[in-house]
Structure 1
């Protein structure tokens, strides 16, 4: 193991310890992430060790956020039981609430935009009932469509540079699937298994594709981030000094990983921290939702 791969290279970039930090994304040179259970969105410059800047507080579970292409819109969010546009002041305009159900307690989970401006987000039953979750695609015009069902704990997705490949994890089953996407319509035109992890390796959680087309996956319960080549070969494993890394992002010469205290009987001092370390790996910034003004 080289010095660059050592877990000791990590440091907390904020003083806050979250129950479940998620959804790390670099945008406009700063790190965005959510506190899922609190429903908060935070921003950090990745260098200081003070408290992060609070951007939103929605008062409901917040699984994922993407910036809107039109700045006046603010954000698109996967929150509570649906998908909404959200102003900088936290005012929601619901686009759809597909998981507003009487028979199950559901919530939205992870999500991200593809290069065509579509927002993809997963849902799950709050106790992770098998097969209760779905994947939804929100088009730039605000229409929402269910594209996959039968999922349990969907995480990701992550997209290749051209948007023709989408990686999606089902954390409960330890699987990552690679889907072929029509970049014009957003339709899924094929899928195949990409990776399956044994329970002792951890569960695939948040992930991102770097500028070389490699997939980086935070392994919940595995205390590591794993890098896969496009052929699913394991290229690198980076230890993380706390058991539950939940997402990974690259920007500003840093690798950032969110972590959680959730489901740890004796959380250590870095559990729930947002961790950063120097890196030469680069990746695209967070992709925006919708079409930019002409």
Structure 2
């Protein structure tokens, strides 16, 4: 299923939210703790960086070429040409003081889904999951979450996967493309620490869910029913999120966390697969 695992000469304190920019053949991702937004050019292997004013949990690409950035409690629009940040939406202005926004992704209907987490060592279930529409309307979808993570949609857009890294669980929902409603929740897996706490994720065209096992060093491929069908051992101890890339969507990049003293910790991994991934939509702004 996979070949040619490569560790790139790129490091992050907490790499997250890799997103493929097919128009420019580039990989965007964030370093939550730097904090910064990065752009890796596939052709030149060059890395551009945009410093952020506070921790940034995730990003989404916009149709205009701008980048939607989830900062601590707000969403901003980054203009890569000027570096300017424009306010877009207050997501959790009155949330618990220890919270920040975490994993986020543009859904197939063009909305941006983003969750919050308790960023304190206590890790209480103070997080929530939100849907933000292109006109800036914020809808709370779920609460009682510890670390919101793992957002990904099936190829037809009618199934949404979601995880709580400290829950510990992976859920599957029915997704309504017209209203953005989620229903028919099923807990499909409760991974052990040895399998890997579920962090960021992506889906492939065969309907499988690829989850970064942040506690194990594995990239885990789950069936829609929750069967663990494949594990790939990565050269980083704490992988955080995969992203399908490339002209055929068969190249997979995986970000990681620099928490472990391992020499590869925080590295960016690239591997080739036999199956293609599901492209992520752009935010219509």
Task: Provide TM-score, normalisation by structure 2.
Answer: 0.90
Q: What displacement does 1:102 show?
A: 7.8
Q: Work out which of the residue numbers 255, 261, 265 in structure 2 matches 1:271.
A: 265
Q: Which residue in 1 is equivalent to 2:153?
A: 159
Q: Which residue in 2 is equivalent to 1:93?
A: 86
Q: Which residue in 2 is equivalent to 1:258?
A: 255
Structure 2: give runs of 5+ residues left out of the alignment: none
Q: Which residue in 2 is equivalent to 1:106?
A: 99
Q: What displacement does 1:144 show?
A: 1.2
Q: Which residue in 1 is equivalent to 2:195?
A: 201
Alpha-carbon distance in structure 2 between the residues aligned to 1:103 and 1:144: 17
| RMSD of equivalent CA atoms | 2.0
Alpha-carbon distance in structure 1 between the residues aligned to 2:134 and 2:41: 29
Q: Which residue in 2 is equivalent to 1:121?
A: 114
Alpha-carbon distance in structure 2 between the residues aligned to 1:223 and 1:109: 20
Change (3 A) 1:135 1:183: same
CA contact under 8 A between 1:112 and 1:156: conserved in structure 2?
no
Q: Work out which of the residue numbers 18, 22, 44 in structure 1 matches 2:40.
A: 44
Could you say what secondary structure the match of 2:200 adopts?
A: strand
Could you say what secondary structure the match of 1:122 adopts?
A: strand
Bigger CA drift: 87-96 or 58-67?
Answer: 87-96
Change (3 A) 1:217 1:102: closer
Alpha-carbon distance in structure 1 between the residues aligned to 2:96 and 2:239: 32
Structure 1: give runs of 5+ residues left out of the alignment: none
Q: Which residue in 2 is equivalent to 1:181?
A: 175
Alpha-carbon distance in structure 2 between the residues aligned to 1:155 and 1:62: 14
CA contact under 8 A between 1:95 and 1:144: conserved in structure 2?
no
Q: Work out which of the residue numbers 2, 6, 9 in structure 2 matches 1:11.
A: 6
Number of aligned residues: 278
Query: Which 4+ residue blocks in structure 1 deviate beyond 6 angstroms?
Result: none
Could you say what secondary structure the match of 2:194 adopts?
A: helix
Q: What displacement does 1:230 show?
A: 1.9
Could you say what secondary structure the match of 2:172 adopts?
A: strand
Q: Which residue in 2 is equivalent to 1:32?
A: 28
Does 1:214 find its partner at 2:208?
yes
Between Structure 1 and Structure 2, the one with more helix by share is 1
* Deviation per residue, 1:246-270 (Å, 9 max, x gap): 00112224221111112x2xx2221
Does 1:75 find its partner at 2:67?
yes
CA contact under 8 A between 1:27 and 1:285: conserved in structure 2?
no
Alpha-carbon distance in structure 2 between the residues aligned to 1:70 and 1:185: 24
Alpha-carbon distance in structure 2 between the residues aligned to 1:212 and 1:133: 31
Q: What displacement does 1:227 show?
A: 0.6
Q: Work out which of the residue numbers 229, 234, 238 in structure 2 matches 1:235.
A: 229
Change (3 A) 1:140 1:40: same
Q: What displacement does 1:124 show?
A: 1.0
CA contact under 8 A between 2:108 and 2:280: conserved in structure 1?
no
Alpha-carbon distance in structure 2 between the residues aligned to 1:135 and 1:61: 18
* Deviation per residue, 1:53-95 (Å, 9 max, x gap): 22x2212111111111233xx1212112122223223333333
